[in-house]
Structure 1
């Protein structure tokens, strides 16, 4: 958590499940350690144009059961158990230097995504890098990297090599993904506007291509009794990408958080 301390300036962008921008609200989020670092105070200020400033102050002396951090400072907080009759979702936060990118995905008592928030931030006084909206063309190619997985039951973290190959043939997008020595995971999808839809398999997945090189991946419609994942991606440079993946098992229980850092070959 300490790697996230400071005052982060940016905006909260509300998006439709299609990826369309609904509203963009300037923001300031201050994370300050107190009591020799044993307590963290978070002050969230939203500054909507022409409206009163809203301010929320939170203090943490311990992390909730639904929160995990990776060594880089990347983190996720959210549901530890999915229930078909309750709200389900998570926030996934990536950090690179003096910039952060966070994505919140919420399923409000329904199997399809209800709301999506993209939060782009940089430390106060730092000029953020300019990045275009993510496109399929930027993702085509072979990506090699490393995945760090941490677990809510506090078992030791695991690190494995990763390989991701993305190809486009006509309107079809194909992916081949491997973690360590595991078998390749193959998927085929099609692009529809700013969305990639992978409809094969037991849990079809939608990937939204978003502003600032961001992407959000989630089940197109949650199928009970099947494992699922929520993912935030960030193309930091044309050849450097981070992805943060929050995984749930077939019973809907949160099992792990994986940070993938990959380089385009």
Structure 2
């Protein structure tokens, strides 16, 4: 229901201090900008006022270089909030010669992590924006750069798939096993809803490259326990998905997946909350 989407949105209320970090299509960190985001509930939380300020340098007390506000009484149909407050937002449709992108937002206690994946008008992967946020006046800390060693092992989880038409959310069990099978190769096996998918990637620095199949993909291992999993190029008339993962701690990982069908239409988003068992 749309009203539940709004209630889940409200779990993000507060003041969040952090930074916007631009990352190249090759996974290189380019630059960062400090930010403060305020999400304030008004009129008995029927209205939410959004304010974004960005700052140059390393000081939140200076005059912001950007100060943007917006008010919300409802949410667009391109965004879904899960019960935890985590959300998936992005383009409704892949189309020729148009920009395409998705935002993935996680929240856990006094931390938020958001990541934006963008494609250019030729449908080629063009940039990552990583947004690391901490609730003001909290003791929340940033996680370390994600490493392959942290992902190795067996993970069991619960997945929740939500749909644009707000039909009831599907819930199912998942398992993921990640093994390093050679000095420069890693293999992962994913099981869900009776299906088993196995794939092998080459290890290239902070990147895992999956070249098998007709749609090559790459996973970047990024700061604050973040991973991105996306096609190098989006192909028209082929289904695809975009994914961002967040290693909340050594034993818990969350993944957000945004799914598109062969027509390029967004058909649903999945939140996976998984725990390491081995």
Deviation at 1:36, TM superposition (A): 1.5
| Pair 60,132 (structure 1): closer, same or farther in 2 beyond 3 Å | same
**Partner residue in 2 for 1:18:** 26
5+ residue gaps, structure 1, are none
TM-score by length of 1: 0.96
Deviation at 1:108, TM superposition (A): 1.9
Deviation at 1:84, TM superposition (A): 2.0
Deviation at 1:230, TM superposition (A): 1.1
Is contact 1:230-1:246 (8 Å) kept? yes
**Secondary structure of the corresponding residue to residue 212 of structure 1:** helix
Deviation at 1:39, TM superposition (A): 1.4
Distance in 2, matches of 1:119 and 1:130, equals 11
Instruction: Could you list the structure 1 runs, at least 4 aligned residues long, displaced by more than 3 angstroms after superposition.
Output: none
Distance in 2, matches of 1:74 and 1:203, equals 28
Is contact 1:202-1:226 (8 Å) kept? no
Is contact 2:87-2:104 (8 Å) kept? yes
Q: Note if 1:246 corresponds to 2:254.
A: no
Residues 209-259 of structure 1: CA deviation (Å, up to 9, x unaligned) = 000110111111112221111111111111110001111111110011110
**Partner residue in 2 for 1:119:** 131
Is contact 1:203-1:226 (8 Å) kept? no
**Partner residue in 2 for 1:3:** 11
Is contact 1:146-1:162 (8 Å) kept? yes
TM-score by length of 2: 0.92
Query: How many positions carry a matched residue from both structures?
Result: 264
**Secondary structure of the corresponding residue to residue 218 of structure 1:** strand
5+ residue gaps, structure 2, are 1-8
Is contact 2:17-2:37 (8 Å) kept? yes
Distance in 2, matches of 1:168 and 1:203, equals 22
Deviation at 1:128, TM superposition (A): 2.1
